[in-house]
């Protein structure tokens, strides 16, 4: 960890990934997740739309010595808000979702996270609600999926265990920086907010252009597109180019009208 705590800033403000609990249900599990994180020195927790509101007494009771993480946790109404400042996002999931994204081990994911963060990027790791896990729409904005190689006959990791294993891998790799350096490591990746806005721009214009047809397929078509933007690890420059492409097509369509 190269960041130094200062009086006015939180400890390691950007030197570690944010662990993002999406619609967590039981306060007990939120508290256990906080403990699991803090065991490995991680203290940047985000909470999206917790079922039982916030703050959560049961979470605080279960967090015991890791209660500070809950006090400092950032609360968001929805996932796009929680991802707005993130430049690279992992989603943890047990089942194969049939989504076309790289699937990596916790080991590989945390190695990548260290590289990305060392280059100034901001990493988020999504953990789903206890019962059902992340929905496909939650996974869409993710750049990659983390999957733990568990016994296929008994894949029963709970929320805190999944957090624990990711935290463990983060810590385990603290001393040994992997030799391979990602070619794209120095890339200026677009933030979650920028990719979200790109997706919204295309969705809006394509809606207007009648792309999402027939209506009963509209939702899955939109998800497909969101998933596409999320997965491409777009740079800032890519996002600008793709905005430009769409703007020009619209300008052209409108220009033709004027020409006539």
Least Cβ distance, residue 90 to a second copy (angstroms)? 13
Least Cβ distance, residue 137 to a second copy (angstroms)? 17
Least Cβ distance, residue 77 to a second copy (angstroms)? 29
Q: Which is nearer to a second copy, 138 or 143 (CB)?
A: 143
Report d(CA 159, CA 233) in Å as an integer.
26
Q: Which is nearer to a second copy, 49 or 165 (CB)?
A: 165
Q: Which is nearer to a second copy, 81 or 232 (CB)?
A: 232
Q: Which is nearer to a second copy, 180 or 216 (CB)?
A: 180
Longest dimension (CA), the chain: 71
Q: Which is nearer to a second copy, 25 or 161 (CB)?
A: 161
Least Cβ distance, residue 157 to a second copy (angstroms)? 6
Least Cβ distance, residue 238 to a second copy (angstroms)? 6
């Amino acid at each position: 960890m190269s960041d130094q705590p200062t009086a006015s800033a939180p400890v390691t403000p950007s030197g570690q990934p944010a662990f993002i609990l999406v619609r967590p249900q039981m306060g007990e599990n939120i508290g256990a997740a906080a403990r699991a994180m803090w065991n490995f020195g991680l203290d940047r927790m985000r909470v999206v739309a917790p079922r039982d509101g916030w703050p959560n007494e049961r979470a605080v009771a279960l967090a015991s010595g890791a209660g500070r993480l809950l006090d400092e946790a950032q609360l968001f109404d929805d996932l796009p808000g929680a991802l707005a400042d993130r430049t690279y996002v992992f989603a943890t999931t047990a089942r194969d979702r049939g989504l076309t994204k790289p699937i990596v081990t916790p080991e590989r994911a945390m190695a990548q996270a260290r590289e990305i963060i060392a280059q100034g990027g901001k990493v988020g790791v999504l953990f789903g609600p206890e019962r059902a896990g992340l929905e496909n729409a939650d996974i869409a904005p993710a750049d990659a999926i983390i999957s733990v190689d568990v016994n296929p006959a008994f894949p029963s990791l709970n929320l805190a265990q999944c957090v624990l294993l990711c935290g463990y891998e983060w810590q385990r790799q603290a001393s040994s920086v992997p030799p391979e350096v990602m070619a794209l490591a120095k890339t200026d990746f677009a933030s979650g907010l920028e990719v979200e806005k790109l997706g919204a721009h295309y969705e809006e214009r394509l809606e207007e252009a009648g792309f999402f047809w027939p209506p009963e397929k509209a939702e899955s078509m939109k998800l497909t597109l969101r998933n596409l933007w999320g997965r491409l690890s777009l740079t800032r420059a890519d996002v600008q180019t793709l905005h430009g492409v769409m703007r020009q097509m619209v300008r052209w369509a409108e220009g033709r009208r004027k020409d006539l």
